[in-house]
Structures are given as C-alpha cells and as structure tokens.
Chains A and B, each alone.
Chain A
Amino acid sequence: MADFEPKIVAFVCNWCTYAGADLTGTSRIKYASNVRIIRFPCTGRIDYMLLLKAFDEGADGIMVSGCHPNDCHYTSGNFHARRRWIMFRSLCDFMGIDIRRIIFSWVSAAEGARWADIVNTTVASIRELGPYDEYRKIAAKPIMEVENHG
C-alpha cells in the first residue's frame, strides 16, 4: 500500500513527550507528518475511551507516550497509566482489536531525536498494515441492514 498515508493520532503528556516533540522541532529534525498530536496534562489522564473514539473517527494508528517512570510531573500518573495500558491492551487483543496499531512509549523532554524515530517507525509500520477498515466497517450500521445486505 505504497500511496496510502495513514492517519496517526498521538496522545502525549504535556511535560515530557510534548516537550520532547517541541525539542524535535527546534532542533530541525524532520519526521513524518501523519501524526496528529493531542496534548494531555499526564498519561494518567489519557482515557481508554479516547483511543477507541480515535479509531471511530478514522485513525489507522494510535501512539500514546509520556514521561519515563519516576519522571512524572505528578509523581505517579505514568505508573497508573502503565497498569491501565497493560489491561487495556490485553482486552483489545482479546476482542480482536489490532494492537499492532497502538504504540506505547516513554519519551522524555530531552529525547527529541528519539521521538522522531518512534514516529517514523510507527508511520512506516502502520503504512505497511494499511488502513484500519475493520473498525470503520462495523461503525454505525444497523444489524438488520448488515444481515440483509452484508
């Protein structure tokens, strides 16, 4: 799927990864523009429903990134988030949601270059996987219509 440009939504924490992404910009490091960055006070505030809504609205891949453990501005936000991600990811996998399209990472405010690498590798792998049609195909369509018309 060479000409397919995936839509990636990145949920990042304001104090580390967002600052890291800023640093990527100020140090003139180029990275794929497919990513739409959404800023959150902390990874602890990233609600799992937001990720599902991102797939609802047409995202092909999702990135979630925040401070390394023990770096959290609010001391424990990322620890709480990690435990939730562990359970969220296994439930997604259990229900068949493609977890290869959800990339979790810790990126500190100093790791501008690393942020660019993660984004580029993510965009490349999602481009390889192609658009995430299954989720959109089941979007709002009455079951009787599905049964009668497939």
Chain B
Amino acid sequence: MDDLRKRAKELLETSAVKVVIGYEDGSGGKTRTLFAEKPEDAARLIFDSRCVMNLAAYVTKREIKEKGRMAIAATLPVMRSIIQLASEFQVSNDNLLVLGITPESKLLEFTDLSEVEKFVHQYQIEIEARNKEMLEKLEKMTPAGRWKFWTDELSPCIKCYACRAACPMCYCSRCTVDFNQPQWIPVPSHQLGNLEWHFMRAVHLTGRCIDCNACFNACPLAIPLNLLTKKMIEDVKANFGGYQPTLTGEHLMSTYKPDDKENFIQ
C-alpha cells in the first residue's frame, strides 16, 4: 500500500489534515489502529487482509476529533459507516477526508462524501453465507429452542461493552445503560441483564448497522451477538426493501411508509 503511505505523507506535510487514521502492525500478528500525525508516521501504514477493525469508531472520539481535520483509510465497511455517521451529522466534509481502499485493495481518494456515497451504493450489504445458514437454522427452531439458545449463548457475557465500544454507530456520549433514572437495562451481568442489553443494542442499531462484524471481533468471549444485528438487516430487507446508508435519505427507523406491510395487527 505504498500509494496510501505516499498520499498520507503528503497530506500531513501540507497539513491538509492533522491526523491520518489507518492500520499498522500490532502485537501477536494482529493489526491495530495508527494515528499518523507526523509525516514520518505515515511510513508505518499498512493494509492487508488482517485489517478488519472498523476505524470509523474513532472519528467520533473527542480526543481524535479535537486534533482537527482527519483523513481515514477506509475499506468498504468503513466507508458505509462514515456515510451513516455523516447522515447522522457526526462527520462532515470539512472534518473528514476519505482515502478509500476498494475491495480490490486499490487506493481511491474521494474529494467529498457524496462521491463516497456513490461508490458505496455500487455494492449491496451481503450477509456471509455461514451466518445466513446460522440465521436459517435458528429460524427453523421453536421459539422455546431459540430462547434456550440465546439465554445459553448470552450467559457468558460479562457486560464489558466491548461490542458497544468497537461499533462506530455507538457514539452516544452517554449510553442508555449509563443512565439510572430509570435504569432501563440492569447493570449487573446476569441472564436478564445480558438479554435486555443485547436486545436494546439490536434495536438501537436497526437500520443503522452496516454488518462490519466489529462487535463480534471485539467480544472477548466470541458471543455470536452479530447474529442479532444481521437478523435485523435481513428483516429490514424483507419488510422495507433493504437499506443503504445515504447522506440525504430518511433514516429507516425514524420514518415510515403509509403502506408498510404487516400481518399481525388486529
């Protein structure tokens, strides 16, 4: 990814941006986030198949935003998150420059977010096959079977909130679980508290999640919590005709169509 490094170095030298957010080699063969602020830092930028962390989680972080204009090395999922964040007024053209990395690992710089939107709309959000199978397997179960599946799968959850921390869409300065008047979600990690937390997370991400798997990758217990948000994506496709992050379009769950179909309201 030499052209990414070259471009990042230029941007920092001309101080067109104050920080370039990208990937660098981490410990244990993993990659980690690099905040390149000095031109020579750009040399550490890398890109390969290990770079799956969603860097968009950092563009809403106070300590990073305060540095000034940011550039971000964005793969397709990161670009989708950026468009969704832009539509929720969290980032804009004047504080973010997108250095796109296409699915063919080519550098593609965008002058503004509407270009990024056009690029993102060329691809549909596709759930991976093995997760689709898992969803189908769960659908074939009885409700009691699914209840047992989820209470078992969620029982190791320790409420560390890494799933929330790694998700770019979870940028609220104070999350609903952090309010105690009323305490909607129980704080302790017992079966009820775990179930209601993951339920709430799936509801709050409906129509916003772009299926980047950051939550699953962050979970220290590999709980398949991303199945919940994937199910919501499939349902949105089935009920409302799919969803793509758009800069100007309506937000899926805060709008409606008079002819929304349903078969259960008496």
Contacts and interface: CB of A to CB of B under 8 A. Distances in A.
Q: Do A and B come into direct contact in the complex, CB within 8 Å?
A: yes
B148 interface: yes
B192 A138 contact: yes
Given A143-B155, A143-B190, A146-B191, A94 B146 contact: yes
Interface residues of B, number: 46
A139 B194 CA distance: 10
A95 B200 contact: no
A61 to B, nearest CB: 14
A interface, over-half SS: helix
B189 A99 contact: no
Contacts of B260: 79, 82-83, 86
B192 A103 contact: no
Contacts of B264: 85, 89, 99, 104
B151 interface: yes
Contact of A97 (B147, B254, B265): B147
Interface string A61-86: 00000000110000010011011111
Contacts of A79: 256-258, 260
A28 interface: no
A69 B262 CA distance: 12
A150 interface: no
**A interface bracket (residues with beta carbon within 8 Å of B):** 35 or more
A83 B240 contact: yes
A139 B184 contact: no
Nearest to A68: B265
Contacts of A96: 143-151
The 4 lowest CB-CB distance pairs between A and B, nearest first, are: A96-B147, A96-B146, A79-B256, A138-B191
19 contacts: A49-B200, A53-B184, A56-B192, A79-B260, A80-B254, A82-B256, A83-B240, A84-B253, A85-B262, A85-B265, A86-B262, A90-B235, A91-B199, A91-B232, A95-B195, A96-B143, A105-B265, A106-B265, A143-B189
Interface of B: 138-139, 143-151, 155-156, 184, 186, 188-193, 195-196, 199-200, 202-203, 206, 228, 231-232, 235-236, 239-240, 253-258, 260, 262, 264-266
